Amino acid sequence: MSYYGIIDGSETSLKNFLAQLPGVDQVGAEARAAMLATRSIKTTSKRRAIETAISMVDLTTLEGADTPGKVRALCSKAVRPDPTDSSVPSVGAICVYNDMVAIARTHLDSIGGQHVPVAAVSTAFPSGRASMEVKTRDTQDAIDAGAAEIDMVIDRGAFLSGRYGLVFDEIVKIREVCGERAHLKVIFETGELVTYDNVRKASYLAMLAGADFIKTSTGKVAPAATPPVVLVMLEAVRDFYEMTQRRIGVKPAGGIRNTKDAIKQLVLVNETAGPEWLTPEFFRIGASTLLNDLLMQRMKMDDGYYASPNYVTID
Protein backbone atom coordinates (compact mmCIF):
# COMPACT_ATOMS: atom_id res chain seq x y z
CA MET A 1 0.00 0.00 0.00
CA SER A 2 1.14 3.53 -0.61
CA TYR A 3 -0.29 6.61 0.95
CA TYR A 4 0.40 9.51 -1.40
CA GLY A 5 3.71 7.82 -2.11
CA ILE A 6 4.87 9.22 1.21
CA ILE A 7 4.57 6.22 3.52
CA ASP A 8 3.85 2.54 2.94
CA GLY A 9 1.23 2.25 5.68
CA SER A 10 3.50 0.45 8.14
CA GLU A 11 3.88 1.96 11.59
CA THR A 12 7.62 2.27 11.00
CA SER A 13 7.25 4.32 7.87
CA LEU A 14 4.61 6.47 9.56
CA LYS A 15 6.81 7.05 12.61
CA ASN A 16 9.79 7.90 10.43
CA PHE A 17 7.75 10.43 8.53
CA LEU A 18 6.31 12.05 11.63
CA ALA A 19 9.73 12.16 13.28
CA GLN A 20 11.21 14.27 10.51
CA LEU A 21 8.52 16.94 10.66
CA PRO A 22 9.92 20.24 11.87
CA GLY A 23 9.02 21.21 15.42
CA VAL A 24 6.66 23.99 16.33
CA ASP A 25 7.98 26.69 18.61
CA GLN A 26 5.12 27.42 20.97
CA VAL A 27 5.96 31.05 21.62
CA GLY A 28 6.55 31.81 17.95
CA ALA A 29 3.32 30.13 16.85
CA GLU A 30 1.31 31.94 19.49
CA ALA A 31 2.92 35.26 18.62
CA ARG A 32 2.07 34.79 14.95
CA ALA A 33 -1.54 33.95 15.74
CA ALA A 34 -1.78 36.93 18.09
CA MET A 35 -0.36 39.23 15.45
CA LEU A 36 -2.90 38.05 12.89
CA ALA A 37 -5.61 38.64 15.47
CA THR A 38 -4.82 42.35 15.27
CA ARG A 39 -5.96 42.51 11.66
CA SER A 40 -8.78 45.00 11.46
CA ILE A 41 -11.66 43.98 9.21
CA LYS A 42 -13.98 46.78 8.24
CA THR A 43 -16.90 47.75 6.01
CA THR A 44 -17.33 45.72 2.83
CA SER A 45 -14.69 43.20 3.87
CA LYS A 46 -16.50 42.60 7.11
CA ARG A 47 -19.83 42.02 5.43
CA ARG A 48 -18.31 39.49 3.06
CA ALA A 49 -16.46 37.85 5.90
CA ILE A 50 -19.64 37.48 7.91
CA GLU A 51 -21.50 35.89 5.01
CA THR A 52 -18.59 33.58 4.29
CA ALA A 53 -18.46 32.60 7.93
CA ILE A 54 -22.20 31.83 7.95
CA SER A 55 -21.77 29.53 4.97
CA MET A 56 -18.97 27.74 6.83
CA VAL A 57 -20.82 27.07 10.06
CA ASP A 58 -21.42 23.45 10.93
CA LEU A 59 -24.49 24.20 12.99
CA THR A 60 -24.15 21.80 15.85
CA THR A 61 -26.16 20.29 18.62
CA LEU A 62 -24.49 17.53 20.55
CA GLU A 63 -26.40 17.22 23.78
CA GLY A 64 -27.78 14.31 25.70
CA ALA A 65 -30.97 16.34 25.82
CA ASP A 66 -31.33 16.62 22.06
CA THR A 67 -34.79 15.79 20.74
CA PRO A 68 -36.23 15.47 17.26
CA GLY A 69 -37.97 18.81 17.81
CA LYS A 70 -34.76 20.57 18.65
CA VAL A 71 -32.99 19.06 15.66
CA ARG A 72 -35.78 20.00 13.28
CA ALA A 73 -35.73 23.57 14.52
CA LEU A 74 -31.98 23.67 13.97
CA CYS A 75 -32.46 22.39 10.42
CA SER A 76 -34.85 25.20 9.64
CA LYS A 77 -32.35 27.67 10.90
CA ALA A 78 -29.57 26.04 8.90
CA VAL A 79 -31.40 26.45 5.64
CA ARG A 80 -32.55 30.01 6.25
CA PRO A 81 -30.50 31.48 9.09
CA ASP A 82 -32.31 34.81 8.87
CA PRO A 83 -35.98 34.26 8.08
CA THR A 84 -36.35 37.95 7.22
CA ASP A 85 -33.55 38.00 4.67
CA SER A 86 -33.28 35.36 2.00
CA SER A 87 -29.92 36.67 0.83
CA VAL A 88 -28.26 35.13 3.89
CA PRO A 89 -26.65 31.86 2.80
CA SER A 90 -27.41 28.48 4.34
CA VAL A 91 -24.87 27.12 6.75
CA GLY A 92 -22.24 24.56 5.81
CA ALA A 93 -23.87 21.57 7.48
CA ILE A 94 -25.94 20.34 10.37
CA CYS A 95 -23.88 18.41 12.88
CA VAL A 96 -25.68 15.94 15.16
CA TYR A 97 -25.36 12.66 16.98
CA ASN A 98 -25.99 9.48 14.99
CA ASP A 99 -29.55 8.85 16.08
CA MET A 100 -30.58 12.30 14.88
CA VAL A 101 -29.16 11.95 11.39
CA ALA A 102 -32.27 10.49 9.76
CA ILE A 103 -34.49 13.06 11.44
CA ALA A 104 -32.29 15.90 10.30
CA ARG A 105 -31.94 14.60 6.77
CA THR A 106 -35.69 14.05 6.36
CA HIS A 107 -36.56 17.45 7.72
CA LEU A 108 -33.94 19.28 5.66
CA ASP A 109 -35.21 17.59 2.51
CA SER A 110 -38.76 18.56 3.37
CA ILE A 111 -37.99 22.27 3.75
CA GLY A 112 -35.90 22.74 0.66
CA GLY A 113 -32.62 22.14 2.42
CA GLN A 114 -31.37 19.34 0.17
CA HIS A 115 -28.13 21.29 -0.31
CA VAL A 116 -27.33 21.28 3.42
CA PRO A 117 -25.42 18.12 4.34
CA VAL A 118 -25.80 16.30 7.62
CA ALA A 119 -22.66 15.54 9.54
CA ALA A 120 -22.63 12.83 12.17
CA VAL A 121 -20.24 12.49 15.06
CA SER A 122 -19.28 8.83 15.04
CA THR A 123 -16.76 6.38 16.44
CA ALA A 124 -17.95 6.60 20.04
CA PHE A 125 -17.82 10.36 20.10
CA PRO A 126 -16.53 12.20 22.07
CA SER A 127 -14.14 9.87 23.93
CA GLY A 128 -13.63 7.29 21.23
CA ARG A 129 -13.33 4.65 23.90
CA ALA A 130 -14.99 1.70 22.18
CA SER A 131 -13.94 -1.33 20.18
CA MET A 132 -13.14 -0.88 16.53
CA GLU A 133 -16.10 -3.02 15.69
CA VAL A 134 -18.41 -0.61 17.47
CA LYS A 135 -16.76 2.40 15.82
CA THR A 136 -17.13 0.89 12.38
CA ARG A 137 -20.75 0.00 13.04
CA ASP A 138 -21.42 3.46 14.41
CA THR A 139 -20.05 5.02 11.24
CA GLN A 140 -21.93 2.66 8.97
CA ASP A 141 -25.13 3.47 10.85
CA ALA A 142 -24.70 7.20 10.34
CA ILE A 143 -24.01 6.85 6.64
CA ASP A 144 -26.98 4.56 6.19
CA ALA A 145 -29.14 7.15 7.93
CA GLY A 146 -28.06 9.80 5.43
CA ALA A 147 -24.92 11.39 6.85
CA ALA A 148 -22.76 12.85 4.12
CA GLU A 149 -20.03 13.80 6.53
CA ILE A 150 -18.52 11.74 9.30
CA ASP A 151 -16.77 13.52 12.17
CA MET A 152 -14.70 10.79 13.80
CA VAL A 153 -12.49 11.08 16.87
CA ILE A 154 -9.00 9.68 17.10
CA ASP A 155 -7.81 7.51 19.95
CA ARG A 156 -5.94 10.15 21.95
CA GLY A 157 -4.73 7.59 24.44
CA ALA A 158 -3.03 5.67 21.68
CA PHE A 159 -1.63 8.84 20.15
CA LEU A 160 -0.19 10.15 23.40
CA SER A 161 1.45 6.81 24.13
CA GLY A 162 3.11 6.79 20.73
CA ARG A 163 0.96 4.07 19.14
CA TYR A 164 0.62 6.07 15.95
CA GLY A 165 0.02 2.94 13.87
CA LEU A 166 -3.13 2.17 15.81
CA VAL A 167 -4.49 5.68 15.36
CA PHE A 168 -3.62 5.56 11.68
CA ASP A 169 -5.24 2.16 11.12
CA GLU A 170 -8.46 3.31 12.74
CA ILE A 171 -8.71 6.29 10.44
CA VAL A 172 -7.95 4.10 7.43
CA LYS A 173 -10.74 1.73 8.45
CA ILE A 174 -13.28 4.49 8.95
CA ARG A 175 -12.18 5.98 5.65
CA GLU A 176 -13.02 2.63 4.03
CA VAL A 177 -16.45 2.65 5.61
CA CYS A 178 -17.06 6.18 4.35
CA GLY A 179 -15.95 5.24 0.86
CA GLU A 180 -17.40 7.61 -1.69
CA ARG A 181 -20.53 8.15 0.34
CA ALA A 182 -19.27 10.41 3.06
CA HIS A 183 -16.60 13.00 3.68
CA LEU A 184 -14.35 12.15 6.58
CA LYS A 185 -13.44 14.72 9.21
CA VAL A 186 -10.91 13.60 11.78
CA ILE A 187 -11.18 15.16 15.23
CA PHE A 188 -7.96 15.39 17.25
CA GLU A 189 -9.24 16.86 20.49
CA THR A 190 -6.27 19.22 20.54
CA GLY A 191 -6.99 20.14 24.15
CA GLU A 192 -5.93 16.60 25.02
CA LEU A 193 -2.99 16.45 22.63
CA VAL A 194 -1.72 19.57 24.43
CA THR A 195 1.36 20.46 22.38
CA TYR A 196 1.57 22.01 18.92
CA ASP A 197 4.10 19.37 17.94
CA ASN A 198 1.41 16.79 18.60
CA VAL A 199 -1.13 18.80 16.61
CA ARG A 200 1.24 18.90 13.65
CA LYS A 201 1.94 15.16 13.89
CA ALA A 202 -1.75 14.34 14.21
CA SER A 203 -2.53 16.52 11.20
CA TYR A 204 -0.13 14.65 8.94
CA LEU A 205 -1.12 11.30 10.37
CA ALA A 206 -4.79 11.97 9.61
CA MET A 207 -4.16 13.42 6.17
CA LEU A 208 -2.01 10.47 5.17
CA ALA A 209 -4.68 8.08 6.45
CA GLY A 210 -7.26 9.63 4.15
CA ALA A 211 -8.97 12.43 6.03
CA ASP A 212 -10.85 14.98 3.95
CA PHE A 213 -10.89 17.40 6.84
CA ILE A 214 -8.91 17.76 10.01
CA LYS A 215 -10.88 19.06 12.95
CA THR A 216 -9.63 20.50 16.22
CA SER A 217 -12.05 19.39 18.87
CA THR A 218 -15.21 17.72 20.01
CA GLY A 219 -16.43 20.83 21.78
CA LYS A 220 -16.41 18.86 25.01
CA VAL A 221 -12.86 19.69 26.09
CA ALA A 222 -11.24 23.06 26.63
CA PRO A 223 -9.10 24.58 25.24
CA ALA A 224 -10.48 23.85 21.81
CA ALA A 225 -10.02 25.74 18.55
CA THR A 226 -7.50 28.32 19.73
CA PRO A 227 -5.99 30.44 16.95
CA PRO A 228 -2.48 28.95 17.26
CA VAL A 229 -3.83 25.40 17.05
CA VAL A 230 -5.74 26.31 13.92
CA LEU A 231 -2.62 28.07 12.59
CA VAL A 232 -0.56 24.90 12.97
CA MET A 233 -3.26 22.84 11.24
CA LEU A 234 -3.53 25.37 8.41
CA GLU A 235 0.22 25.20 7.92
CA ALA A 236 -0.10 21.43 7.73
CA VAL A 237 -2.80 21.44 5.03
CA ARG A 238 -0.89 24.11 3.10
CA ASP A 239 2.32 22.09 3.14
CA PHE A 240 0.47 18.82 2.48
CA TYR A 241 -1.03 20.41 -0.62
CA GLU A 242 2.49 21.34 -1.74
CA MET A 243 3.55 17.72 -1.31
CA THR A 244 0.52 15.95 -2.78
CA GLN A 245 -1.58 18.50 -4.66
CA ARG A 246 -4.49 17.37 -2.51
CA ARG A 247 -6.33 20.05 -0.59
CA ILE A 248 -7.48 18.97 2.86
CA GLY A 249 -10.04 21.02 4.78
CA VAL A 250 -9.77 22.39 8.31
CA LYS A 251 -12.54 22.60 10.87
CA PRO A 252 -12.02 24.47 14.10
CA ALA A 253 -14.74 23.57 16.58
CA GLY A 254 -15.37 24.76 20.09
CA GLY A 255 -14.80 28.16 21.58
CA ILE A 256 -15.65 30.20 18.51
CA ARG A 257 -18.63 32.06 19.87
CA ASN A 258 -18.78 35.43 18.20
CA THR A 259 -18.18 37.25 14.95
CA LYS A 260 -14.83 38.57 16.07
CA ASP A 261 -13.57 35.05 16.80
CA ALA A 262 -14.89 33.82 13.46
CA ILE A 263 -13.27 36.62 11.51
CA LYS A 264 -9.98 35.94 13.25
CA GLN A 265 -10.25 32.40 11.98
CA LEU A 266 -10.85 33.60 8.43
CA VAL A 267 -7.82 35.88 8.65
CA LEU A 268 -5.76 32.90 9.79
CA VAL A 269 -6.97 30.93 6.78
CA ASN A 270 -6.34 33.76 4.36
CA GLU A 271 -2.81 34.49 5.51
CA THR A 272 -1.69 30.96 6.31
CA ALA A 273 -3.23 28.43 3.92
CA GLY A 274 -4.43 31.03 1.44
CA PRO A 275 -7.68 32.21 -0.12
CA GLU A 276 -8.20 28.82 -1.84
CA TRP A 277 -9.27 27.52 1.55
CA LEU A 278 -11.84 30.25 2.11
CA THR A 279 -14.80 28.14 1.03
CA PRO A 280 -17.11 25.77 2.91
CA GLU A 281 -15.55 22.99 0.88
CA PHE A 282 -12.28 23.45 2.77
CA PHE A 283 -13.06 25.39 5.90
CA ARG A 284 -15.82 24.88 8.41
CA ILE A 285 -16.47 26.26 11.82
CA GLY A 286 -18.13 23.94 14.31
CA ALA A 287 -20.37 26.06 16.48
CA SER A 288 -23.75 26.36 18.12
CA THR A 289 -24.03 29.96 19.35
CA LEU A 290 -21.81 31.64 16.74
CA LEU A 291 -24.47 31.81 14.06
CA ASN A 292 -26.69 34.22 15.96
CA ASP A 293 -23.86 36.61 16.61
CA LEU A 294 -22.95 36.56 12.93
CA LEU A 295 -26.56 37.35 12.09
CA MET A 296 -26.70 40.19 14.59
CA GLN A 297 -23.51 41.70 13.28
CA ARG A 298 -24.86 41.46 9.77
CA MET A 299 -28.03 43.26 10.80
CA LYS A 300 -25.95 45.97 12.40
CA MET A 301 -24.08 46.43 9.14
CA ASP A 302 -27.37 46.72 7.27
CA ASP A 303 -29.24 49.14 9.46
CA GLY A 304 -26.47 50.77 11.43
CA TYR A 305 -27.99 49.93 14.82
CA TYR A 306 -26.49 47.54 17.31
CA ALA A 307 -28.74 44.50 17.15
CA SER A 308 -30.70 42.82 19.90
CA PRO A 309 -30.97 39.06 20.41
CA ASN A 310 -34.73 39.57 20.26
CA TYR A 311 -34.42 39.83 16.50
CA VAL A 312 -32.59 36.58 15.87
CA THR A 313 -34.17 33.20 16.41
CA ILE A 314 -32.92 31.25 19.35
CA ASP A 315 -32.92 27.84 17.69
In angstroms, the CA 58 to CA 78 distance is: 9
Q: Which is nearer to other proteins, 13 or 195 (CB)?
A: 195
Q: Please tell me whether residue 124 binds other proteins under the rule CB under 8 A.
A: no
Whether the Cβ atoms of residue 171 and residue 211 lie closer than 8 Å to each other: yes
Q: Please tell me whether residue 53 binds other proteins under the rule CB under 8 A.
A: no
Q: Which is nearer to other proteins, 222 or 243 (CB)?
A: 243
58, 151, 155, 235: residue in contact with other proteins (rule CB under 8 A): 235
Residue 266: helix, strand or coil by DSSP?
helix
- Least Cβ distance, residue 259 to other proteins (angstroms): 15
| Residue whose C-alpha is closest to residue 238's, from 282, 290, 294 | 282
- Least Cβ distance, residue 61 to other proteins (angstroms): 28
Residue 222: helix, strand or coil by DSSP?
coil
In angstroms, the CA 94 to CA 87 distance is: 19
12, 16, 26, 161: residue in contact with other proteins (rule CB under 8 A): 26
Whether the Cβ atoms of residue 248 and residue 215 lie closer than 8 Å to each other: no
Whether the Cβ atoms of residue 254 and residue 218 lie closer than 8 Å to each other: yes
Q: Which is nearer to other proteins, 267 or 294 (CB)?
A: 267
> Is 251 in the active site?
yes
Residue 169: helix, strand or coil by DSSP?
helix
Q: Please tell me whether residue 45 binds other proteins under the rule CB under 8 A.
A: yes
Q: Which is nearer to other proteins, 168 or 188 (CB)?
A: 188
Residue 192: helix, strand or coil by DSSP?
helix
Residue 124: helix, strand or coil by DSSP?
coil
- Least Cβ distance, residue 31 to other proteins (angstroms): 7
Q: Which stretch binds other proteins (CB under 8 A): 57-65, 90-98, 120-128, 192-200?
A: 192-200
Draw the binding track, 252-281, toward other proteins (x: CB under 8 A; -: no contact): --------------xx--xx---x--xx--
Catalytic residue (one of 151, 169, 212, 293): 151
Q: Which is nearer to other proteins, 97 or 204 (CB)?
A: 204
Whether the Cβ atoms of residue 254 and residue 284 lie closer than 8 Å to each other: no
> Is 215 in the active site?
yes
Within 8 A by CB and 6+ apart from 190, the residues are 198, 199, 202, 216, 217, 223, 224, 225, 226, 229
Binding site for other proteins (CB under 8 A): 22-32, 38-46, 48-49, 52, 194-195, 197, 232, 235, 266-267, 270-271, 275, 278-279
Give the residue numbers annotated as catalytic, written as ranges. 151, 215, 251
